[in-house]
Structure 1
């Protein structure tokens, strides 16, 4: 049984993984931190919850980038996303849609907006990035700054993956599609914020627990010393100890990698 101390531990993992480098998606925030009024590219990744569309809309309305892309084919979160969209928007035929197509359909239906380009073939964080870079090259889009918006549980890994492929002078700007905290209300585990399309607490915790081993730069992780999928990530000792505490106490809450979506 999880208690409030356990949930506070999960919140430490969530704050670490769900990185936001600016407090809000505005030109003023970009100017203050990076001395730019617009990023060259804004990317929403399909692994996010549905609220990612709202984040993309804010980006478009606030003109924070020159080009807007949605990236995502069929991965480990797609079936859940399809079911959620089908439940909320039964008139949309979601069964054959890839993640980017789903988000684009919602963007059009809810806000009558569209992204500049979609990438619909990628299945994991690694080829989310490599296919994105291929698309940018194909469309002759040069960039020195790029905003990444991914599910909070996977934001840190997505950024580290892009960092592996671009030069050090490219500004990678993180803006996780949500920030939320677990708590207990009426003897049930829930979230402090009611965010549309939010994972169940159980799924959210499992996603977080799966990230720390992936981000850890050792022989089992995704960093240069392991599978070399991402650049090195510094994991603070507090985060490492928090993960070890949770893994020891609740070993059933973890998410091993799924070879079905490897490339």
Structure 2
């Protein structure tokens, strides 16, 4: 898949700046409000809401798009910090499907530009379960209190425990370099 940013050096750009370049190059959309200082999902929310407040903007709705592996956490963060009268529109930018080929777990198709490889994708997915779990170690009100409460179905917890115990799958650890200061 060819990127519409193939001729642009994006190595020093923030995600917001890259997205704005994509919108400009592909659709000629240039009127974007950018928050470029965020280093983590929580910052994406709090910094954006602070930017809106500083500009005295009171949106009736906010659509948020994120890597699908972090979409639930973004939703929980917005629910914690966003005014109650703002409609939140949660839009995952892509979907992936898994399959088993030759006794190995594989992505059904991997034609998404810049998609994680399967090992990284699974690591990201596995890392979300402890973060979303509302206990002393999680990000919810009973733990770090970064996000609103998330109900995780028991079958998801059971699947996580099984995979964690039986497979050699690492879970992504938070990087303290990007913690909110």
- Common fold: TM-score over 0.5: yes
Q: What's the CA shift for 1:135? A: 1.2
Which blocks of at least 5 consecutive residues in structure 1 are unaligned? 1-50, 52-83
Asked whether the equivalents of residues 219 and 225 of structure 1 are also in contact (C-alpha less than 8 Å), the reply is: yes
Equivalent-residue separation in structure 2 for 1:152 and 1:257 (angstroms) = 17
Structure 1 residue aligned with 2:34: 118
Equivalent-residue separation in structure 1 for 2:39 and 2:31 (angstroms) = 20
Number of aligned residue pairs: 178
Q: What's the CA shift for 1:187? A: 6.2
Matches for 1:143-154 after TM superposition, within 5 Å: 143-154=59-70
Structure 1 residue aligned with 2:84: 168
SS at match of 2:89: strand
Aligned partner (choices 226, 232, 242) of residue 143 of structure 2? 226
SS at match of 1:154: helix
**Structure 2 CA distance for partners of 1:241 and 1:150, relative to 1, 3 Å:** same
Which blocks of at least 5 consecutive residues in structure 2 are unaligned? none
For the pair 1:244 / 2:158, whether they are aligned, the reply is: no
Structure 1 residue aligned with 2:176: 259
Equivalent-residue separation in structure 2 for 1:182 and 1:140 (angstroms) = 44
Matches for 1:3-82 after TM superposition, within 5 Å: none
Asked whether the equivalents of residues 141 and 147 of structure 2 are also in contact (C-alpha less than 8 Å), the reply is: yes
Equivalent-residue separation in structure 2 for 1:239 and 1:186 (angstroms) = 25
For the pair 1:105 / 2:21, whether they are aligned, the reply is: yes
Structure 2 residue aligned with 1:68: none
Aligned partner (choices 58, 66, 74) of residue 158 of structure 1? 74
**Structure 2 CA distance for partners of 1:231 and 1:254, relative to 1, 3 Å:** same
Q: Which moved more, 1:91-100 or 1:116-125?
A: 91-100
Asked whether the equivalents of residues 182 and 201 of structure 1 are also in contact (C-alpha less than 8 Å), the reply is: no
Q: What's the CA shift for 1:211? A: 0.3
TM-score by length of 2: 0.89
**Structure 2 CA distance for partners of 1:95 and 1:196, relative to 1, 3 Å:** closer
Asked whether the equivalents of residues 163 and 169 of structure 2 are also in contact (C-alpha less than 8 Å), the reply is: no
Structure 2 residue aligned with 1:128: 44
Q: More relative contact order in 1 or in 2 (CA 8 Å, sep 6+)?
A: 1
